[in-house]
């Protein structure tokens, strides 16, 4: 458990000025005549989790709000809006990638943008091209390859370290997905405060998910289970769950554990202990692998609680997903995680299995899932952390840059006009009877 003297840094404490509503932003940006160019490179993944999911949800909101003023691109090529919207509906980039490289989703090269062009480039992750828009911004999700390199493979570390400095230098403004990420950028790269902003992640579920779930048959006297969401890679600390069940097998007698997520890199460090093979065979420990969005929603709604044991996070989206459906979350007290969980989470030390065991026992003995105050707090979280608010945070900053750019242009025009040399009059009067130009034609005097 975190020391009592430490205040949990919630998102509200580091909140900046309230951004403008989307309809106001749309009106003002469109009035200025700017076009938003959105990079779809993260969307080429088949399964959207983590960064691809964030990129998809943000891009969907931007296109819904600015359908006439939003264009999609990949590197130096425009991408068909219809193909991207189809990928949004499918919640997968499998066909988008195929149609871009082998189909008709590629619309042609990007237009040649001059310095005075009214175009803003939004990169939801690493930038594959730079300095092609008058205004550019990107989202930094975490600095784990720099701060915790032991959890990554060498090629990933090299790729991110080779690109991030150029990304930061070419950005008009850089957005971190949490206050902790922004502070990391300041500490490790010395980025000035005015070039950094926070744009928190959001959470949303399709409107028909609750309806479909309500129409499914319910299991009577369903056994409680704990849900763990996350890719099986070292930083997510899934090994802590295996150690918990190996050291405290009594937990498997009282409840089941479901670990959902695809297998990532360095999977050998997350190997399942042989002692747990029996629990798997008896379905006390369930590993379904990657699950669809609806299956994830169903698992979240039915869980006694979720466990998020990650060592390091730039935000902690699964925590937000859990709280959004009113399911308690046991989370590690680390990095940006308390910004997502606030006072609603139960925290533990990610390096201590005993700390996790106490937290699990506490939730089993007295779960706040049906507590009125807890559920009110969860509704407040779902209302605050939306993708619409993420878009508002980004667009409010970009609007200020657009207006500043327009002000500079107007100032240059005014300066030129005020310093223009007056038209020189001839030093002698025009002879009478000659034809003189009066601006509308010629006339005789």
pLDDT per residue of the chain (445 residues) written in tens, 0 to 9:
443 434 455 554 445 578 999 999 999 999 999 999 999 999 999 999 999 999 999 999 999 999 999 999 999 999 999 999 999 999 999 999 999 999 999 999 988 776 678 999 999 999 999 999 999 999 999 999 999 999 998 988 998 888 999 999 999 999 999 999 999 999 999 999 999 999 999 999 999 999 999 999 988 778 999 999 988 889 999 999 999 999 999 999 999 999 999 887 666 566 788 889 999 999 999 999 999 999 999 999 999 999 999 999 999 999 999 999 999 999 999 999 999 999 999 999 999 999 999 999 999 999 899 899 999 999 999 999 999 999 999 999 999 999 998 765 454 445 445 555 444 444 444 444 444 444 434 344 4
Beta-bridge partners for 150: none
What phi, psi does 435 have (nearest 5°)?
Answer: -90, 125
Global confidence as pTM: 0.87
Question: What span, in angstroms and rounded, lies between the C-alpha atoms of 32 and 264?
Answer: 45
List all residues 6 or more positions away from 88 whose beta carbon is below 8 Å from its beta carbon.
56, 59, 60, 63
397 within 8 A of 197, measured Cβ to Cβ = yes
**CATH for the 209-385 domain, from 3.30.360.10, 3.40.50.2000, 3.10.20.30, 3.20.20.70:** 3.40.50.2000
Q: Which residues contact 409 (CB under 8 A, 6 or more apart)?
A: 116
State the pLDDT at residue 189.
Answer: 95
Candidates 4.10.240, 3.30.70, 3.40.1800, 3.40.50; CATH matching 11-202+388-403: 3.40.50
The 8-class DSSP code of residue 263 comes to B
As a whole-number percent, the residues of the chain with pLDDT over 90 amount to 77
pLDDT score for 222:
84
Strands, DSSP E only, in 32-76? 35-39, 70-74
The DSSP bridge pattern shows strands 35-39 and 70-74 to be parallel
List, by residue range, all CATH 3.40.50.2000 domains of the chain.
209-385
Distance CA 110, CA 88 (A): 22
């Amino acid at each position: 458990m975190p020391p009592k003297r430490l205040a949990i840094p919630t998102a509200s404490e580091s909140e900046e000025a309230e951004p403008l509503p989307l309809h106001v932003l749309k009106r003002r940006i469109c009035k200025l005549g700017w076009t938003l160019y959105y990079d779809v490179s993260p969307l080429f993944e088949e399964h959207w989790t983590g960064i691809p999911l964030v990129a998809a949800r943000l891009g969907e909101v931007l296109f819904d709000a600015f359908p006439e003023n939003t264009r999609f691109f990949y590197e130096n090529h425009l991408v068909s809006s219809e193909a991207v919207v189809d990928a949004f509906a499918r919640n997968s980039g499998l066909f988008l990638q195929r149609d871009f490289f082998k189909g008709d989703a590629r619309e042609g090269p990007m237009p040649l943008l001059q310095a005075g062009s009214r175009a803003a480039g939004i990169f939801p992750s690493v930038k594959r091209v730079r300095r092609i828009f008058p205004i550019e911004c990107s989202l930094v999700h975490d600095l784990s390859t720099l701060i915790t390199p032991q959890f990554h493979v060498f090629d990933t570390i090299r790729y991110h370290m080779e690109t991030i400095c150029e990304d930061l230098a070419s950005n008009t403004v850089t957005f971190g997905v949490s206050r902790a990420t922004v502070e990391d950028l300041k500490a490790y790269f010395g980025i000035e405060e005015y070039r950094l902003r926070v744009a928190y992640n959001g959470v949303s579920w399709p409107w028909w998910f609750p309806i479909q779930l309500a129409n499914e048959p319910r299991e009577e006297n369903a056994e409680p289970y704990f849900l763990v969401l996350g890719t099986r890679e070292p930083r997510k600390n899934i090994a802590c769950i295996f150690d918990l069940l190996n050291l405290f097998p009594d937990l498997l007698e009282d409840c089941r554990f479901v670990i959902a997520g695809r297998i990532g890199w360095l999977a050998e460090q997350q190997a399942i202990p042989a002692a747990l093979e029996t629990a798997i065979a008896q379905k006390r420990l369930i590993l379904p692998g990657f699950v669809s969005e609806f299956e994830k929603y169903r698992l979240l709604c039915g869980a006694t609680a979720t466990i998020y044991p990650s060592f390091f996070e730039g935000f902690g989206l699964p925590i937000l997903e859990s709280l959004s459906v009113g399911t308690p979350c046991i989370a590690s007290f680390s990095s940006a995680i308390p910004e997502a969980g606030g006072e609603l989470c139960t925290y533990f030390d990610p390096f201590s299995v005993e700390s996790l065991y106490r937290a699990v026992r506490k939730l089993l003995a007295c779960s706040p899932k049906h507590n009125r105050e807890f559920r009110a707090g969860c509704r407040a979280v779902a209302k605050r952390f939306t993708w619409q608010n993420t878009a508002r945070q980004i667009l409010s900053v970009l609007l200020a840059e657009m207006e500043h750019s327009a002000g500079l242009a107007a100032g240059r025009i005014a300066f030129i006009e005020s310093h223009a040399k007056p038209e020189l009059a001839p030093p002698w009067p025009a002879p009478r009877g000659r034809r003189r130009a009066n601006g509308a034609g010629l006339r005789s005097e």
